[in-house]
Structure 1
Amino acid sequence: MAGPIAIGAGTLVPERAAETATARASRAMVAARLERLPMTRFQRTIFLIIATAWFFDSIDLGSLTFLLGSIKTEFGLSTAQAGLLSSMSFLGMFLGAGISGMLADRFGRKVVFQVSMIFWGLGSVWCAFAPDATALGYARLLLGFGMGMEFPVALAIVSEFLPTANRGRYLAIMEGFWPLGFIAAGCLSYVLLSTFDWRAVFLAQAVPALFLFVIRFFVPESPRWLADRGRYEEADRVMAGIEAKVGEHLGGRALPEPQPLPEQPRGEHRFSFLELWSPGYASRTVMIWLTWFFALLGFYGLTTWLGALLQEAGHSVTKSVVYTILISLAGVPGFITSAILVERWGRKPTAVLMLLGSAVAAYLYGHSPSFGWLIAFGLVMQFFLFGMWSVLYAYTPELYPTRARATGAGCASAVGRVGSLIGPYLIGIILPSLGHGGVFALGAGSFVVAALSVALLGIETKGQSLEAISH
């Protein structure tokens, strides 16, 4: 006879057991073929395309820092109302990040990434033509939804295409496109506000949504995801195309042989959100959710109000924009430093350093004795804040397996957006009573809590393949 059919929940027919073993081996082989590829122009091109879309997204997100003062004046908003308007973007990001991760784990990275760009493009156009503050709030909600969708999917794409030796550095560098986008948002605002009003800035930011056609034609679907979904023929076809392009860039040299990697269970019967709370992942989920929540509460609570606070201190709109851009320039060496340290020190110590540095600098910025010290402490603060962003985005997608990677990154980002939703509104409420010093002390305390979460609950992922981390 051919062996047992099925006795109890743990017994498989031999054919099913053989099929499961073959599936695990196929998934491990796809990952091994990816991991053994040297870094070439092909992977850098994929990275640059995703990072450019991230850059455009960051311009949209950062623009409100430079436009909030003008919008507040035009619509006659109180500080609490302006804070609520700021928070609408983050409400949209909360919804977008939470949904897109699960969609990307179910339907694929590429299609969800393209859809996200459509949403934030439409949101930008709506912002430009919003007739009142209520309509603008809904437009920012749609814009935030698109931006929130993009972040976790971009992280999954980049982390799944790059080999272990380069993954952390490039993920950290990609986040560095956020301060560049923030600076570009300031420059765009400075140029357009000198001739037009804030609406022109939003209209200009809608144009880069057309970049989705570049994604469509030049970025393949993740072969890791295809293999994890059991689509082995497609995964093999995509991998063959990737290997051919890498081989071309190597001048026809033979590729290294794939090295064995841990075989991962597919987990096809588990909803991806529940995977975050399975044994081995629950403590990681608690850690990264706490970190994202308090880090983003502090970050957006402070940076959204930077321009408006400078205007309240008596500086003109254009001068406040220039000062904010100047302060943000320190974010460039900040994310470069973080990109170096995540591979030399590791993700965990770099995250703790950047979060504690942000806490100290934020407190000092809020208690600056003069304008000169305000700029100096602002530079230090942005150095650590953007370094913090880089390590968070490098660290988060590494904590979960392929079947739940986008969901894990998306849910962490969504929880963070709750913090970013609360932060600007909370600042608008407490500013009249606590003043600038109290506002920045609150931000500093948030960063300390985030640092403690990583220090006490975090794991180190440096130098390990995605499969080894999730084994």
Structure 2
Amino acid sequence: MGTPDRLPGPRLDCLDLGIMSFLLPLITTAFALSGSQQGLVASATLAGAFVGDLSLALAGNRVGRKPLLLWSLVLYSGCTLLSALAPDYTLLLVLRFLAGVGVGVNANIVIPYLAEFAPKKARATYVGSLAGFFGLGYVLAALIGTFVVARVDHGRRWGLVLVGLPVVLALWWRRSLPESPRYLLLKGRDAEAEAVVAALEDEVRRRTGRPLPAPEPVPVAARDTDLSALRQFAALWQGPWLRQTS
């Protein structure tokens, strides 16, 4: 199976956390923050990301991969851009927390989405490359912080705009991403899953000009979507999944 072309770029979590190192001194001055308020602003994104992680565990197999990929970006980008206009500490704190929820969902749904499309032989390469974008996020944050935040009037606002605005482009790129065939199969939507796979296979044939190799047999995914989180975790250590998990 091929992989979608419009996959994520620099990690949002790293870019966002990195830019806060440059923004926090300016935010502290602008809103006359106390030490505890500085700590809350600095950790608001992480707290939101934790909530996003937990909500993803409940929503991932109910809502679908594609909606979560899109709406987590909408939440992150919208709250980040609004943060640039926040008139006071309280609103800024709330917006940073909500942006963190978007980060938590997005950063964790991308990996299973990618893994469900990548062929087995290249799966580790794709997922490892995605993890490599940790560094790029911090590099971009340093560049924005050095050349924009520290040198431009209202730099704290422009820094947030530059961090949030490119995500709108990522949202535009992702609009045509297909839903995960594995998720569709879990929901019993076999015809839609087959259509997604057929479209990817046609694209691979068109690009390579060669027929596809014979598919390898894979374990049949369970379709019981009502399993509790504990039973889903236990299933990873049983049957055909044991070797992959260990």
**TM-score, normalised relative to structure 2:** 0.88
Aligned residue number for residue 254 of structure 1: 211
Secondary structure of 1:278's counterpart equals helix
Aligned residue number for residue 96 of structure 2: 140
| Identity fraction in percent | 30
Q: 1:94 aligns with which of 46, 50, 59?
A: 50
Aligned ranges for residues 375-394 of structure 1 at < 5 Å? none
| Equivalent residue letter for 2:231 | E
CA contact (8 A) 1:101 1:149 kept: no
Aligned residue number for residue 226 of structure 2: 269
Structural RMSD (CA) = 2.5
Shift of 1:66: 2.0
The C-alpha deviation readout for 1:208-252, integer Å capped at 9, x for no partner, is 2322121112x111112111221111111111101111112221x
Q: 1:216 aligns with which of 151, 175, 183?
A: 175
Aligned residue number for residue 157 of structure 2: 199
Shift of 1:57: 5.5
Aligned residue number for residue 244 of structure 2: 469
Shift of 1:155: 0.9
Aligned ranges for residues 67-146 of structure 1 at < 5 Å? 67-146=23-102
**1:155 and 2:100 equivalent?**
no
Structure 2 stretches lacking a partner, 5+ long: none
Shift of 1:110: 0.5
Q: Which structure has the greater CA radius of gyration? A: 1
| Equivalent residue letter for 1:83 | G
The C-alpha deviation readout for 1:286-314, integer Å capped at 9, x for no partner, is xxxxxxxxxxxxxxxxxxxxxxxxxxxxx
Structure 1 stretches lacking a partner, 5+ long: 1-33, 35-41, 282-399, 402-464
Secondary structure of 1:51's counterpart equals coil
Secondary structure of 1:50's counterpart equals coil
CA contact (8 A) 2:235 2:241 kept: no
For residues 56 and 75 of structure 1, the distance between their equivalents in structure 2, rounded to whole angstroms, comes to 25
Shift of 1:276: 4.1
| Equivalent residue letter for 1:262 | P
Aligned residue number for residue 244 of structure 1: 202
Shift of 1:263: 2.7
Aligned residue number for residue 423 of structure 1: none
Aligned residue number for residue 436 of structure 1: none
The C-alpha deviation readout for 1:165-204, integer Å capped at 9, x for no partner, is 2112221211221211111111112121201221111122
For residues 130 and 105 of structure 2, the distance between their equivalents in structure 1, rounded to whole angstroms, comes to 16
For residues 145 and 189 of structure 2, the distance between their equivalents in structure 1, rounded to whole angstroms, comes to 46
| Equivalent residue letter for 1:135 | L
Secondary structure of 1:130's counterpart equals coil
The C-alpha deviation readout for 1:55-103, integer Å capped at 9, x for no partner, is 4554233211222222223333343331222111112111122213432
| Equivalent residue letter for 1:266 | R
For residues 153 and 279 of structure 1, the distance between their equivalents in structure 2, rounded to whole angstroms, comes to 20
For residues 219 and 244 of structure 2, the distance between their equivalents in structure 1, rounded to whole angstroms, comes to 10
Secondary structure of 1:220's counterpart equals coil
| Equivalent residue letter for 1:246 | V
Of 170-179 and 238-247, the range deviating more from structure 2: 170-179
For residues 206 and 169 of structure 1, the distance between their equivalents in structure 2, rounded to whole angstroms, comes to 28
